[in-house]
Structure formats: C-alpha cells, structure tokens
Amino acid sequence: MTLLKNEATYVEMNLKIKNKLDEIKKEWFEKINSLVSMSRDLDKLPEVQVLLLSYRHQLTDYCYGDLAKGNISAKSIYEKNKKACMLDSKTNFDFKLNTEKERFIVIDADIRIIDEMLDMFEAQTYFVRESIKLLDNLGYSVKSRIEMYKIMNGDGH
C-alpha cells in the first residue's frame, strides 16, 4: 500500500523533468565543448571571450532562475506530500507501526519518487555550477594566451 496519491503522475513528471534536464545538459555540453575547440585558434580568441561571458551569464541566469524555481517547487511538493503521508500514516495502514521511526521509514519509501525529483535538480545545479567554473577557468586561459601573444609580438608589457 502506498500513501502517495497520484504516484503515476509523479513517475511521469520525473520522466519529463529528466528528459528536459538531460536535453539542457547536452546543449550546454556541446556549446562549451565547441568553445574549448575554438579557444585553440588564436584568431578566434576575441570571439571566444565574448561567448564565454555570454554563456556564463546565461548559465548563471538559468541556475538562479528557472533551475532554482524548479528546485523550490520540488521541495514544496516533497514537503506537502510528506505531511499528507504523515497524517494518512496514522490510520491508513493495513498493519500496525509501533514507533514513529517505523512510520518515517515507510513514508520515506513512499515518497522516494519525489525525492528522485529533488536529486535530479541537485545534480543539474551541480552540473551548471561546474560548467560556470569551467568557463571561468577557460576565460583565464584565453586571457593568458592573449597576453602571451602580445608579449611575443612586442605589443605590450
């Protein structure tokens, strides 16, 4: 017996969220990989610098905008369902639970689907933050290459 109402809806929702997050992750992986390849060409470094800043801004907006809203929504759904399950668990079991700890174990098992949703958002947030760090490091690398080029060509000190 499950205490979670509309479990199938949450399974379907998780699948849609996973597919959308995977699609976004793939898109950003391709953009960043392309940028790294471009950074090997000295003539494209100015373009790389512009794209770096643009991508960093877009990822930051995504991380603290849409992704944060999704994470907050998932946490809200989790808490709402956990409370509902707590109330239902007092009367809706076919067997007797002796302790509060036993109730929590059963409830946590029931809402694992929603917990998976939270895990997906946390993993996506980690991916975005690491991508931002990668862009920052690439930016320093590009800046160093430009400075080295200027020194080698006598354009600056």
DSSP secondary structure letters along 68-110: HHHHHHHHHHHHHHHHHHHHHHTT--SS---SHHHHHHHHHHH
Is residue 13 within 8 A of residue 117, CB to CB? The reply is yes
Q: Please tell me which residue, 135 or 99, carries the higher pLDDT value.
A: 135
- The model scores a pTM over 0.85: no
Structural domain spans, the chain: 63-145
pLDDT score at 1: 42
pLDDT of 22 over the 60 cut: yes
Is residue 81 within 8 A of residue 114, CB to CB? The reply is yes
Q: Could you give the dihedral angle defined by the CA atoms of residues 110, 112, 115 and 119, in that order, rounded to the nearest 10 degrees?
A: 180
Per-residue model confidence as pLDDT tens digits over 2-15: 445 566 787 888 89
Token pair recorded at residue 123 = 């993993």
Alpha-carbon gap, residue 5 to 14, rounded angstroms: 15
